[in-house]
Structure 1
Amino acid sequence: MPDGAQRSRPRFVIRRSSGLYGYERALQRAGFPLVAGADEAGRGACAGPLVAGAAILSDRASRQIEGLRDSKLLSAAQRERCYDEVVAKAVSWSVVVLPAGECDRLGMHVANVQALRRALHRLSVHPDYVLTDGFGVDGLGVPGLAVWKGDRVAACVAAASVLAKVTRDRIMADLHERWPEYDFATHKGYCTREHQERLDRHGPCPEHRRRFDNVVRAMRGPGDVRAVG
C-alpha cells in the first residue's frame, strides 16, 4: 500500500457524469490540490524500453487538455497533439526510460513499479496525492491510489499515458532505423505475428528482452546471429 494511503485516505465519490477530471476535482475538495498521475508504455512488448510518464495537470479550465483520453484510444496524430498540450499546459511532467537490459535485470513487474516511482520523483512540483494505473507505488511519501484502467477515468493518468506512449513510439521509430529488419516502427516491439516471424528469421538484437519466452526460443534457433551484445 502506498505510503500514508491508509492513514490519509480521503473519502470521496466519483460519479460517471464527473468526466475525466472527476478524480482530480474530488481529491482537491478532499484537501489534495496537486494530484499526480503516472502510467507506463511497453510493459507487454518483447523489445525496446519500458517508458513511464507522470503529470500534474492544472485545475484551470483554460489549461485542460482538449480531447485527452487513454493513449491507446487515440490515433498517432491525436497522441502527438495531446503530448504537445500536456507539455505546454501541465503544472509539471516527466518521463523515464528503462532500457531493455534493465527490464531483464529487474524483471518486468519490478521494472514497472520502479519506472513509475522514478517518473513521479522527477516531477518538479511535489504532489499531494498520486494516482497510478493498475499498480500501487510505495516510497513516495504521499498517499496514493492504484486505479483500474486509470488512464480511462483520470485526466492526470491519461496525460501520463500519452507522455509515455509518444516517447516510446519515437524511440521505437529510431530503433527501426538501426535495425530495419525487425520493422519496429510498425509493431513497436510488441509480440505480433509479423514481429515473431522476423525475430525467428534474424534472431534477437540487443533491444529484445531475454526474459520473454519467445525471445529465448529465437535465441536457440539457427538464425541467432545477434543474441550476444
Structure 2
Amino acid sequence: MTLSLTRRRIPVRRDAGIYAYERTLARSGFTPVAGTDEAGRGACAGPLVVGAAVLKPGKRGEIPGLADSKLLTPAARERAYDEVLARALAWSVIIVPPDEVDRVGLHRCNITAMRRALARLDLTPSYVLTDGFPVSGLGVPGLAMWKGDQVAACIAAASVIAKVTRDRIMCELHEQWPQYGFDAHKGYVTDEHQQALATHGPSPVHRRSYANVARVVSLGDESLRGDPTYEC
C-alpha cells in the first residue's frame, strides 16, 4: 500500500508489521497518527460503536497481543482492551443507538460517528487512518485502508475499543431480553437469532431497516390483518 503524504507517495510493505504505517508517517513528520474503526456494522440488533485511538510513538506504543479484534479470542480482546486504554495517548468511543441507524442510515451513521470519535480525542492528530471508508472534512490528511484493522496498529486499537465496548453492551441487553441470546451472537444474524426473531418478534433494540428484521415485522403485520380483532 502507498501512503499519500501531501505531494509525496511513500510505499509501505504489508509484511512490515502492524506498526509500520505509524512509523513511516512519524519519519515524515506526521505525529500523532489516529486510527478509527467500528463494530456492529453487520449486526441486525444493538448499537453501532466506533472507536478511535492514538498510540504512543516507538516501542512505548506497542500493545502486547494487539491485532484485529475479530481475530482475537474474547479473553485476548479484553486483555488488549485494558492495554490500549492504559497505554494510548488518547482514545474515544461513540455509541450510535439502533433507532438512529434506522432513521439516518448505516453508512451515514458510520462516517458521522468516525468524525465524532476523532473530534473527541484529547489531542488533534496530524494524520488519520480509517478502516475501509474515507472520511472527509477532518482538516488533516488521511488514508482509508482495506482491512486496516489487520495492518495498522492504531486502527487495530480502535477496533478493540469498539468491539469490547459493543460486546459488553450486548451482554447487558441480554439481561433485558434473554430470549434472543444477545450474549452469544452479539446481535449478528445466526440461525438461533433468526428463530428467536420469528418466535418473539423484534425487540426495541433490533434494527427495523435490516431486511431480516423488516421481514419479521411484515409477517407480523400480515397475521394481524387476518385477525378480525385487528384495527388499522
Q: TM-score, normalised by structure 2?
A: 0.91
AA of the residue aligned to 1:24: E
- CA–CA distance in structure 2, aligned partners of residues 99 and 155 of structure 1: 27
Question: Partner of 2:175 in structure 1?
Answer: 177
- CA–CA distance in structure 1, aligned partners of residues 139 and 52 of structure 2: 16
Helix, strand or coil at the partner of 1:20 = coil
Largest Rg, 1 or 2: 2
- What is the alpha-carbon root mean square deviation over aligned residues? 1.8
| C-alpha contact (below 8 Å) 1:38/1:161 kept by paired residues | yes
Cα distance per residue 1:20-54 (max 9 Å; x no partner): 00000011112101000000000000000000000
Helix, strand or coil at the partner of 2:66 = coil
| C-alpha contact (below 8 Å) 1:35/1:127 kept by paired residues | yes
AA of the residue aligned to 2:18: L
Question: Partner of 2:51 in structure 1?
Answer: 53
Helix, strand or coil at the partner of 1:170 = helix
Structure 2: state its 5+ residue gaps. Answer: 225-232
| C-alpha contact (below 8 Å) 1:182/1:195 kept by paired residues | yes
Helix, strand or coil at the partner of 1:156 = helix
Q: Of residues 20, 36, 51 in structure 2, which corresponds to 1:22? A: 20
Q: Of residues 198, 201, 214 in structure 2, which corresponds to 1:200? A: 198
AA of the residue aligned to 1:124: D
Q: CA deviation at 1:184?
A: 0.3
- CA–CA distance in structure 2, aligned partners of residues 6 and 79 of structure 1: 31
Larger mean Cα displacement after TM superposition, 191-200 or 168-177: 191-200
Structure 1: state its 5+ residue gaps. Answer: none
Question: Partner of 2:227 in structure 1?
Answer: none
Helix, strand or coil at the partner of 2:10 = coil
Question: Partner of 1:72 in structure 2?
Answer: 70
Q: Of residues 89, 104, 109 in structure 2, which corresponds to 1:106? A: 104
| C-alpha contact (below 8 Å) 2:23/2:58 kept by paired residues | no
Q: TM-score, normalised by structure 1?
A: 0.92
Question: Partner of 1:119 in structure 2?
Answer: 117
AA of the residue aligned to 1:190: Y
Helix, strand or coil at the partner of 2:11 = coil
- CA–CA distance in structure 1, aligned partners of residues 194 and 214 of structure 2: 12
Taking structure 1 as reference, are residues 81 and 92 closer, same or farther at Cα in structure 2, changes over 3 Å only? same
Could you tell me the percent identity over the aligned residues?
60
| C-alpha contact (below 8 Å) 1:24/1:35 kept by paired residues | yes
Q: CA deviation at 1:7?
A: 8.3
- CA–CA distance in structure 2, aligned partners of residues 87 and 152 of structure 1: 19
| C-alpha contact (below 8 Å) 1:200/1:221 kept by paired residues | no
Taking structure 1 as reference, are residues 26 and 212 closer, same or farther at Cα in structure 2, changes over 3 Å only? same
Larger mean Cα displacement after TM superposition, 113-122 or 57-66: 57-66
- CA–CA distance in structure 2, aligned partners of residues 180 and 67 of structure 1: 32
Cα distance per residue 1:82-115 (max 9 Å; x no partner): 0000000001000000000110111111011111
Q: Of residues 36, 39, 62 in structure 2, which corresponds to 1:38? A: 36
The yes-or-no answer on 1:216 pairing with 2:214 is: yes
AA of the residue aligned to 1:52: V
